[in-house]
Structure 1
Amino acid sequence: MRLEPGDTAPDFTLTTATGDQLALSDLLKQGKKVILYAYPAAMTPGCTTQACDFRDNLASLTAHGYNVVGISPDGPDKLTKFVDRDALTFPLVSDPDKAVLSAYGAFGEKMNYGKKMMGVIRSTFVIDPDGKIEKAFYNVKATGHVAKLRRDLAID
């Protein structure tokens, strides 16, 4: 099931790369919007490109009222290595049982090199301060996605 604008964003509390717990509801209490992006695996080429793109645009996104959070099935230890290796400056959360990814429609059947398989569907969700989905993008490309997102959000 895919989320649409106006749907309530599924709340979550997940472990971050630092071992802390991060709850969507806590982020929303700050009155900012949340960009939650789902990626298949830390430290792979496409996911690194995407994460670094968010890192490089974080100051502008934050200035426009957005918090950025990355979510994958990777464990906190792998996320810590990813954060350290690429100097990532936003939280990454671990969803090893894929329950949150599934709730967002970001885990399921997908095509990978011409074969059907189950996996994380690279997706991005913009969640408003009331916890509603403002935008939902599925099957996004790692390269150039943040620039497209900025255009869609009318940033710069």
Structure 2
Amino acid sequence: MLLAAAGSAALMLGALGFQYLGDLAPCKLCYWQRYPHVAAIGAGAVALVAPLVLVALFGALAAATTAGIGVYHVGVEQRWWEGPNTCTSSGTAGLSPSELLDQILAAPVIRCDEIAWDFMGLSMAGWNALISAALAALWLLAAWKAAQASSSASQ
């Protein structure tokens, strides 16, 4: 369980490194892929206290979710299907019309359908999908081992 949670933590650190050290701003789908990793990291923290089957299954679900979003993001990048057409905002409360216009004009446009970085022919979304699928398998293996340990302890 801890290895799988550490994998999600490593992917999160990598994403944050690309964002803050590499100045590679994430798109909306990139953010969506981060949330399940945070949940998997949380499951790893809970597993330190109680390595239960349910915790491992939750971790597997979180990792599989981010893998699925990664596959969806790859499809958007490859233009196999359309991505979301909505954007997020940093907030506009209390801004004058001219300040709002300045904020809009200064905001970078981060598109989900453009590959900002790739390695060996796979985008970050593709790597996230592959690694997260492997992490989901690790979580499922941990769930199976926890179930076996629970079963043998009750006998």
Decide: shared fold, TM above 0.5: no
- Greater share of helix: 2
TM-score (norm 2): 0.29
Larger Rg: 2
